[in-house]
Amino acid sequence: MRTITLINGDGIGPEISSAVIKIIDAAGLKIDWDVQTAGADVIEKEGTPLPERVLNSIKKNKVALKAPVTTPIGKGFRSVNVQLRKSLDLYANLRPCKNLPNVKTRFDGVDIVVVRENTEDLYAGIERQVDENSAESIKIITREASERICKFAFDYAVKNNRKEVCVVTKANIMKLSDGLFLESYRKIAEDYPTIHKCEILVDNLCMQLVQNPTQFDVLVLPNLYGDIVSDLCAGLIGGLGVAQGANIGADYAVFEPVHGSAPDIKGQNIANPTALLLSAVEMLKFIGEQSYAQKIEKALYKTLEQGVCTKDLGGSMSTTMFRDAIIANL
C-alpha cells in the first residue's frame, strides 16, 4: 500500500480533507495516509506552523496532499506554503483550469494549464529601502530555473496530450531578465518538435484571456506573472471552490487547492471540497493511479451534472451531502 503525507490544515481544511479521503477510500483505492498537523493549531505546542516532522514525512513519502493552512498575520511567521516550496525545492506550480459541468462561468470550453516558476523572480525577497521615499525589489531570473520550468511545461504537454506551450513574458521591456526567460523557452522548445510554440506578452495575454480564453492551452510563466494569471484563470472556471493546484519539484510533490483556510465558513459544513478533490485527482495521476483518478473525476462530473453542488456554486448541499453524492456516483 502506498503511503502519502496528508496535511489536514486548519480552518475548513479538516472538513474538506475528511470528505476527500472518504471519496478516495470509497473509490476502492487503499492509501496509508501519514497524517501531519501544521499551521496555526500547532504553533503553541511546537513553536512553528511547519515543524520539521512534516518536512521529514514528505521527504520520506515523496508526495503530499495538503489542505489549506492559515498564515498568522503580523506574528513573524513565514507562510507555511512558501516555506514548503523553498525547503523542498518545489519549483513548478501547476494549475490546471478547466470548466466543470453546471458551474456557470462566462466562457465554455476553457481548458488551460498554468505552469508557474515557483522559486525566483520578484519572490526572491531581495528588497531594500533606498531612502525614506523609495524602495527597490530585485527581480532574479536565472537560466537554470528558466530552462527547468520550460522543460517541465513541455514534458507536461507531451505526457498529457496537450498541443501547445505558450511562453508569457514582458521581454519587450525587461529585455535582460524576461529576455533570458524567453531565450530559455526557445532553447528548450527545440527539443519538442511535436508541440506548437507560441510567445505572448503578459498584458496582451490578460486581455485575450478575458475575451477569448479557449484559444490557450499550456502557459509557462515567470513567478509573478504566473501568480496573477493563474488567479485570473481560476476566475474563468468558477473561482476558488473549484481551483486545484500542485507544487512539484525534482524529488517531491505537494498537491493542494488554490484557496486558503476560509476562516469565515470554518466548522459550518458548507465548504466546497472540489478544489482539494481535483488536486487529489491530479496527485493520483501523478503517482500512476490513472484509473482511480478517472473514476473519481467522472463521479464528480456526474454529481455536478445532476445539479448537486455546494453553496458557493449556487447549490444547497453541505460538504458532507456533496461528498455522499459523489460517493454514490462512483
Cell numbers at 174, concatenated: 525587461
Query: Could you say which of 36, 61, 118, 272 contacts ligand NAI (CB under 6 A)?
Result: 272
* Cα–Cα dist 3/210, whole Å: 41
- Which one, of 84, 74, 97, lies nearest residue 51 by Cα? 84
Catalytic: which of 227, 252, 292, 295? 227
What angle is formed at CA 225 by the lines to CA 95 and CA 236, rounded to 5 degrees? 50
Sites for ligand NAI among residues 213-252 (CB under 6 A): 240-241
DSSP helix/strand/coil, 120 = coil
Minimum distance of ligand NAI from residue 286's CB (angstroms): 18
Q: Can residue 309 be called a binding residue for ligand NAI (CB under 6 A)?
A: no
Minimum distance of ligand NAI from residue 84's CB (angstroms): 9
Judged by beta carbon, residue 81 or residue 184, the one nearer ligand NAI is: 81
With CB under 6 A, what is the number of residues at the site for ligand NAI? 20
Catalytic: which of 10, 41, 121, 123? 123
DSSP helix/strand/coil, 161 = coil
The stretch among 109-117, 132-140, 247-255, 267-275 that binds ligand NAI (CB under 6 A) is: 267-275
The stretch among 28-36, 193-201, 258-266, 296-304 that binds ligand NAI (CB under 6 A) is: 258-266
Minimum distance of ligand NAI from residue 277's CB (angstroms): 10
Q: Enumerate residues 6+ apart whose C-beta is below 8 A from 56.
A: none
Write phi, then psi, for 45 (nearest 5 degrees).
-75, -40
Q: Can residue 262 be called a binding residue for ligand NAI (CB under 6 A)?
A: yes
Minimum distance of ligand NAI from residue 280's CB (angstroms): 13
Query: Could you say which of 237, 271, 299, 309 contacts ligand NAI (CB under 6 A)?
Result: 271
- Which one, of 214, 285, 199, lies nearest residue 244 by Cα? 285
Q: Can residue 260 be called a binding residue for ligand NAI (CB under 6 A)?
A: yes
Residue 192 annotated to the active site: no
The stretch among 62-70, 146-154, 198-206, 220-228 that binds ligand NAI (CB under 6 A) is: 62-70
- Which one, of 202, 244, 238, lies nearest residue 222 by Cα? 202
Q: Is the separation of the CB atoms in 205 and 219 below 8 Å?
A: yes
Sites for ligand NAI among residues 65-84 (CB under 6 A): 68-71, 81
Q: Identify the DSSP state of 8.
A: -
Q: Is the separation of the CB atoms in 284 and 136 below 8 Å?
A: no
Q: Can residue 283 be called a binding residue for ligand NAI (CB under 6 A)?
A: no
Judged by beta carbon, residue 42 or residue 167, the one nearer ligand NAI is: 42
Q: Is the separation of the CB atoms in 315 and 308 below 8 Å?
A: yes
Give me the sheet containing 218-221, strands edge to edge.
31-36, 2-7, 63-66, 253-257, 244-248, 92-98, 111-117, 218-221, 164-169, 196-201
Q: Can residue 265 be called a binding residue for ligand NAI (CB under 6 A)?
A: yes
Residue 187 annotated to the active site: no
* Cα–Cα dist 183/181, whole Å: 5
Q: Is the separation of the CB atoms in 77 and 43 below 8 Å?
A: yes
Residue 170 annotated to the active site: yes
Residues within the interface to ligand NAI (CB under 6 A): 12, 68-71, 81, 240-241, 256, 259-265, 271-272, 275, 312
Active-site residue set: 123, 170, 203, 227, 231
